[in-house]
Structure formats: structure tokens, C-alpha cells
Amino acid sequence: MTVKIAPSILSADFARLGEEVRAIDSAGCDYIHIDVMDGHFVPNLTIGPAVIKALRPHTTKVFDVHLMIEPVDPYIEAYVDAGSDIITVHAEAGRHLDRSLQLIRSFGRKAGVSLNPATPESAIEYVLDRLDLILVMSVNPGFGGQSFIPSAYDKIRRIRQMIGDRPIEIEVDGGVTAANARDVAAAGARVLVAGSAVFRSADYAGNIAALR
């Protein structure tokens, strides 16, 4: 089976992000996963649209932007303008998920939805036809380097069943390593987000190959 690897730049060296993005591009990544945190929806602050816009000239790879913010709708256009290709919002971050997904697609971008570990897959049952990607959080969002929560396997399998023949990618984020990547993919994931597993050593190409 073919899986895509999306290194999370949350684990990169923030003092030289442009260089890090070029390095993972050269190392063979498929997507660049960009974690946006607001210190409100999740207990951490990271980067905003200005940084994403500054990184955009450094690669032609897909910018997979994960918005862990609330409210989300007022900021979607800014992340579109910054160069995002996929914009993923949390099902828990707003009352009107359908509207948020419509808004992303109205700008010609791919729309994703993310589910926290305690959020059931039923939360997205009625928006499946608005989706290009479903991001299953296998840790509680906010920090890198956490351990994979095993209940995510069942959730991935159930979402795979829900999707049917729709062209929706299942992405998994949190605690993905070379040791569990095969099991995550076997459950139905096709995009693996990895931070520590890619950036833990200087051999980015080797680390990405090990995950693949």
C-alpha cells in the first residue's frame, strides 16, 4: 500500500525553518504538515500565516495546514492567502463545521476535519461529502513527542468504513513512528504525520524511508 509522509515542522529547528523545509522536501516527504496553535483551543502557541507565507517559496510540496484554533472561520482566508493547499479544522472548534468546510472549498482549497481522541467519528457523518481529508488525532493536540493512543486504531478502521468509495484521505497525527507505521496504515491511514520520528536525527531521508 502507498502511504504519504507528512513531516510536522513543529519538531523542526525554528531558527532555520526555511532550510528545514527544503531539507525534508529533498529527503522525499509528500506533504509539509504545519501545526497552527492558538494557546486557547490547545495549550500551546506556534506559528501564524506570516510564517507560512515566508516558507511558501522554499518548496512546491503540499502545505498541509492543521488549524488548532478557535474561532476558525475568521482566519481561513489568511491561511489561504499564505499558501495553504489543505486546510484542516477541528470538529470541536466551532458550532458550524459544515459552514467552515464550505468556506475552505470556496477558496479552491482542499478541506480537512480533525478529530481529537475523545471525539467520536459520528461527529463528521453528515459532512463527509464536504471533505478531502480526515485527520485522526492519536495524541491530545498541543505538543509534539507524545505517545500514540491505541484506541485510534479502531477509530481509523471505523472511519475507513464510513468513507466508502469517497476520495477522502485518512491522515493520522501523534506518536507515529517506524515501529507502528505499518499498523497505522493497515488500519486505513494513507497520510502519516511524523514530527519527532523525522527530525530526531539528521538523516531525514532515512527517517522518512523507515516510516514509508
Catalytic residue list: 35, 173
Residue 208, C-alpha cell as written in the block? 522518512
Cβ neighbours for 189, distance < 8 A, ≥ 6 positions apart: 3, 136, 156, 170, 171, 172
